[in-house]
Structure 1
């Protein structure tokens, strides 16, 4: 049995073919989508759980070293890693929100895979994270199918992380491949996510077209200009149909982070000053919510930063605001703030104003956000999406017959307006925002593994 596997930044999904049509499999309850989140008692519990309860061993000496350290740490802390201690998806988020300070929580590990400067032990840990998520998804999908799944086509962005170039792409894909093999997939191939989304759209075409596929996911945006239609559908080699590719690490997470920074972090002291009238240091308000940046998260939550924050609170003209920032530090609340921004972003796609709420232990913070404020806050990542679109068009030196939008953030009216202004008169087609890539991947898998 083979599947198409969209290991996404925001959500994961898998699909099989039934009577020639993709069917997404249930991964969390009856839902075919499981958020890309994981929660564990400790960071070290991930590697031990993988070995102890998934029966998945390390595949190299670095992984073995990581596992030994994890087991020793948990033993010294008196932590028994029990079945069910590792939570995924909505269950992981619920566990984190219940007591953020007492658990290890990670969202969107795919965002980290292409990061530059990672040590071998960090790469090994990310491999464990991805492997645990993939093993859980594989188990859930096999439960739905009542059949072993041994082969998969996995989606990947054109570029995992722009600053690392092709080296970052190779690193990220190698982590995905190693994790998938350890999770139990015997054969694995990759396909660009926008190409996969295009393959699903192509199945509906009655005539050939040149299509700009814009896949705006949680962590990356990819643009592909593709010739597609009846004359292309039967061809195994589609390289001639791919006219242009562009992509970088900007997606829904970036929209959420920028919105949180501009509209929510003032509740924690951003834009306030020290008693001497000097502005507060910006990194202290950016780093806690930069959930897709390993270095930023490490800097903010480092033990040395506690003293810096305490000094800022003593020197602040509004110390109560910085006291809230100290709560973010102590209770690892960055994810919670970004989640509030995400809720606001989604709501503002259908209404002009939204009241965002953040629950702390002793108070509930609330602020009103308008669509105009959202537009201003996300101007920078939206401009990067515009650059990607223009880059793909310049490469191909042609105008598409249609634009196919997919990915969770493709629902944004702001991004839709961007495409309408860039290519006036070109019709925009919206696919299944969350399922188009998965469906296209399984169509490609049929050609790979038939």
Structure 2
């Protein structure tokens, strides 16, 4: 059976065509969107779960041979944790968040693994590790979708950003980054049981979904503000275009960069939440507080930052910083957050605040999981100030796509969860003036477009 697979930074979804309509299948209980998160009782157990999910054959034999060391480590972890063979050791989606929130200092939790797939300089063992994380999630999502549909999914189109890393790196480095990420996704899809795998730019997929409702031909600037990347495409759309199987001539320009909803969450957490942990506290020396470690704490989409924050050196540094600070209780709060591995949860609180500020001018962020009674209020204007830099980069990507096309768009279509924010919509209006700004399904546009394209190329 043919499907579209949106393996997103924030959410995963699978769609199939049913009676000429896109049908998104339930993949997280009754929900058609599963948060892109994984929690395992031990990091080594992720590899084990992938191996258990592979059918007998050459693919499984090759995997077991390539992961011999990791699988031995998984056996040791099982013995140390006293886990029985039938005990569930890995959780994805909402269950992953629930287990992380309940016991953050135990187990291994990763949110938005897609953000890391194009990271430069990954050693082979880290590439294998990300392959296992993505495979474990894909296996679960595919199995749930197959249970819901009663059919085996064999052919898929998976969405991809224009660039998995920043567009400011060299063309050669960007291509290496993209090839690394696509290789990881392809390996994971094959190990999940897909026989045929193709990729489609996510903004183009979102545009295909939007095009269904166009009654006139238009040049459309499609803007997909995803969790990990923002991607733009200038596309000719409408009745004279949508029936074509070859659309290359309709795509007039595209741009993309690793800046998205996660970056907005991180900026908001850094500017509005980190002061509660001492980032703006005075030092006894009178010098300003160094901010790097505070920013590392919330930079949850950066492998290097996460490694630095969890390192032994940072632990020793924070102990000294506590002695040097005129408000040592704030640094003690940061030390507790680090010891309890609650930095992901803190950024999640910032994300929830960003979402709340889409419908309200202010919101209260409760941080009782850090300390009883700890909270802070955030105004929408403070959100606007906090996300100014990533928002400027998103606007620049939109202008770049238009410049490549050499024509102005008739319409701007925005999709992605963060596109709901009035702050973003106001910024688009300031840059592009009176060009109509339209939106659709902020979460389902990409999955729907991928499904339609899969049906077109495989049938």
- TM-score normalised according to structure 2 size: 0.95
Q: CA-atom RMSD, angstroms? A: 1.6
Partner of 1:37: 37
CA contact (8 A) 2:45 2:77 kept: no
Partner of 2:5: 5
Partner of 1:116: 120
Partner of 1:177: 186
SS at match of 1:139: helix
Aligned residues: 450
Using a 3 Å threshold, how does the CA distance of structure 1 residues 370 and 175 change in structure 2: closer, same or farther? Answer: same
Structure 1: give runs of 5+ residues left out of the alignment: none
Partners of 1:176 and 1:428 lie apart in 2 by: 33
CA contact (8 A) 1:131 1:180 kept: yes
| CA deviations over 1:286-332 (Å, ceiling 9, x no partner) | 11111100000000001232111111112211110000110111011
| CA deviations over 1:255-288 (Å, ceiling 9, x no partner) | 0000000000000011113211222221211111
| CA deviations over 1:359-417 (Å, ceiling 9, x no partner) | 23542320110011110000011010011011111111110111111111110111111
Partners of 2:92 and 2:50 lie apart in 1 by: 13
SS at match of 2:376: strand
Counterpart check, 1:415 vs 2:418: no
Counterpart check, 1:50 vs 2:50: yes
Give the Å deviation of 1:72.
3.6
Counterpart check, 1:312 vs 2:321: yes
CA contact (8 A) 2:39 2:100 kept: yes
SS at match of 2:244: coil
Counterpart check, 1:135 vs 2:135: no
Counterpart check, 1:270 vs 2:279: yes
Give the Å deviation of 1:70.
3.4
Using a 3 Å threshold, how does the CA distance of structure 1 residues 274 and 57 change in structure 2: closer, same or farther? Answer: farther
Structure 2: give runs of 5+ residues left out of the alignment: none
1:291 to 300, 309, 314: 300
SS at match of 1:233: coil
CA contact (8 A) 1:58 1:64 kept: no
Partners of 2:392 and 2:69 lie apart in 1 by: 43
Counterpart check, 1:366 vs 2:375: yes
Counterpart check, 1:440 vs 2:449: yes
1:201 to 205, 210, 229: 210
Partner of 1:70: 74
CA contact (8 A) 1:49 1:81 kept: no
CA contact (8 A) 2:156 2:454 kept: yes
Counterpart check, 1:90 vs 2:94: yes
SS at match of 1:364: coil
Partners of 1:81 and 1:126 lie apart in 2 by: 24
Give the Å deviation of 1:63.
3.4
Partner of 1:338: 347
Using a 3 Å threshold, how does the CA distance of structure 1 residues 274 and 54 change in structure 2: closer, same or farther? Answer: farther
CA contact (8 A) 2:337 2:370 kept: no
CA contact (8 A) 1:348 1:371 kept: yes
CA contact (8 A) 1:48 1:81 kept: no
Partner of 1:236: 245
Counterpart check, 1:146 vs 2:155: no
1:352 to 345, 355, 361: 361
SS at match of 1:405: strand
Counterpart check, 1:219 vs 2:223: no
Partners of 2:222 and 2:346 lie apart in 1 by: 31
| Stretch moving more, 79-88 or 222-231 | 79-88
| Stretch moving more, 161-170 or 335-344 | 161-170
Partners of 1:398 and 1:242 lie apart in 2 by: 12
SS at match of 1:340: helix
| CA deviations over 1:47-98 (Å, ceiling 9, x no partner) | 1222235668474554333333333444455455644221111111011101
Partners of 2:87 and 2:53 lie apart in 1 by: 6
